[in-house]
Amino acid sequence: MRLNDGVAALMLLSSLQSGCKFFEARKSTPARSPNATTSQTITGKRGFLTEAELMPPDRIVQLQGDQIPKEMNAQGAVVMAQSNFVPPTTTGQCWASVMTNSIVRATASELNIDYQLADATACLAPDVNRTDAATGVSVQIKNGSIHLMLLAGCEGEDISSYHGKTLKEILEQKLFNTFCQKGQKSYSLTNFDVKMSLVYSVKGVTINMDTRAVSFHGQNDGGPCVVNNSGDTWNSNGCRDVQLNSVSKLDASTTMPAGFEALANGTYKVIESKNLVGGNKSGAYFSSGAISIVLSNWQGEFVFSDANTPPRWNMSKTGSDETRTGVFGQTKLNNAPETDRPLGYQPRF
């Protein structure tokens, strides 16, 4: 049983279904901006997460070199320019509640959502409380909170029709798939934070933990991600996604039972666009540029040569001379069991 499975799903869905991300090709027809001051006002805005809160946890899963090819091949939604996220049929009771209660406020050039649930214990409990019959491990939530903030802007297209809609309506109607298609420039910023205090029972040992699931999408300076549209192509540089799960063991005197030490490990992933160009409808991949990527204790990048060629990747282990290289798609994972994907980083389309 992986720690925070339900919460991780919540976090990924909120961030990646926002649709206002650079990992989506779009065909644009530039138009005159209805609000020439959009870029001046929105780029200065920030979310509630600080840079310090986006740093890797003290304890994270340590990947081995022979696991890297499989992890890199699991990044389908990162490298596929034509991929569109299809929400799963079941996403948990709490996420359904968040979607229904998150209301969009929109003007001609900007929309935002700011949803906070200071006491989310009852909301999270059905998705978190459980017992694994195979291992006998059980987990119960003591308290939890949720904070979701989404900001998006568009130059060249009136987006006021989004006003008053719920996040549930927007996702079900796939409205973000066509967001700002006629604009010259789009902006997006997402902050998502789930905090929980949990009680684990592992082989008769009770362990209290504080856990946190954080997701950030925006520019690498902390502001909104900027995507420039030009005809049938778009480009992005410095757009960043951060996903992390951190764990703090409250019982300092408690020793984790043998074989269950991984419960106290967090996960960490960062992806960032590097002069990325997309929008070629005839190809599966991005036309040029690169995507840097951090997977736990490894870092590297995907490098794109053209829209019809799978990108090459290279990865280096932090604090070591160990490296791995390859081409996306070399290792098939479509039918691989979940145990073959140690970090749980699943394709997002």
Residues 6+ apart with CB under 8 A from 100: 166, 167, 168
Instruction: List the chain pLDDT tens, one digit each, 349 residues.
Output: 233 333 333 343 333 333 233 333 333 333 333 343 455 578 788 899 999 999 999 889 999 999 999 999 988 778 876 544 333 333 478 888 888 888 999 999 899 999 999 999 999 999 899 998 888 889 999 999 999 999 999 888 888 989 999 988 888 887 777 778 777 888 999 999 999 999 999 888 888 999 999 999 999 999 999 988 887 788 899 999 999 999 987 676 677 788 787 888 899 999 999 999 987 566 788 999 999 999 999 999 999 998 889 999 999 999 999 999 999 987 543 333 333 333 332 222 1
Q: What is the pTM of this model?
A: 0.81
Backbone angles phi, psi at 308, to 5 degrees: -110, 5
- What distance in Å separates the CA atoms of residue 42 and residue 243, rounded to the nearest whole number? 23
What is the signed CA dihedral for 154, 192, 68, 317, rounded to 10 degrees?
100
149 burial class (0-12, 13-18, 19+ CB within 10 angstroms)? Answer: buried
Domain residue extents for the chain: 5-340
**What is the distance of C-alpha 43 from the center of its chain?**
21
- What distance in Å separates the CA atoms of residue 7 and residue 13, rounded to the nearest whole number? 10
Contact 312, 330 (CB under 8 A): no
Token duo for residue 228: 């420039």
What does the angle CA 57 – CA 61 – CA 64 come to, to the nearest 5 degrees? Answer: 135
